[in-house]
Amino acid sequence: MTPEHRVPAGLRGFRFVPAPSPPWWTVQCQREAERAARASFPLEVCGLWIAASATGPVRLNVLPAQASPVSFQADPQAVIQLAYRLVDDKAVVRATFHSHPFGFACPSRFDEPLADWAEDHLIAGCRAGAWTFAWWRTPHR
Ligand SMILES: [Zn+2]
């Protein structure tokens, strides 16, 4: 549990719980996440960590989105196209990713729909120019 794993009291009963980084996570993945978060700054970025196969390497797929400094809405057409591609390629979504350019690496109630994509979630938070990364899990109920 890190300082980034603080959950505000108002979010009790919330699906996200602090989690360790998943076994496939590498320094290279971390760099990929940081690059994407910085590239979209000051807007939020969203994406999915996708493995080409059950054991294949995991890459970040950034989604086109309408984003603000405090929210994002993935482009519905891009999401649908990606969903079809995942089925066609038999690819696997390992985790979600998004940033909070002016906040903690801590989920909000607006992040709940991400649980439909994966159990693991990486959030990048930026406070005073310093990025932090925290893993969260939404266990199946
Ligand atoms: Zn969020």
Q: What is the mean pLDDT of residues 38-67?
A: 94
User: Of all residues in the chain, what percent carry a pLDDT higher than 90?
Assistant: 78
Domain count, the chain: 1
Q: Give the model's pLDDT for residue 9.
A: 58
Distance between Cα 107 and ligand 1 center (Å): 5
In a domain, 32, yes or no: yes
pTM to 2 decimal places: 0.89
Distance between Cα 66 and ligand 1 center (Å): 14
CATH of the domain at 29: 3.40.140.10
Question: Furthest-apart CA pair in the chain: how many Å?
Answer: 42
H helices present in 57-110, as ranges = 76-89
Helix (H) or strand (E) holding 96: strand 92-100
If we measure between CA atoms, which residue out of 23, 88, 21 comes closest to residue 57?
A: 23
Mean per-residue pLDDT over the chain, rounded: 90
Which of 7-11, 79-83, 133-137 bottoms out in mean pLDDT, i.e. has the lowest?
Answer: 7-11
Q: Give the model's pLDDT for residue 6.
A: 62
Q: Give the model's pLDDT for residue 14.
A: 74
In a domain, 62, yes or no: yes
In a domain, 12, yes or no: no
Distance between Cα 110 and ligand 1 center (Å): 6
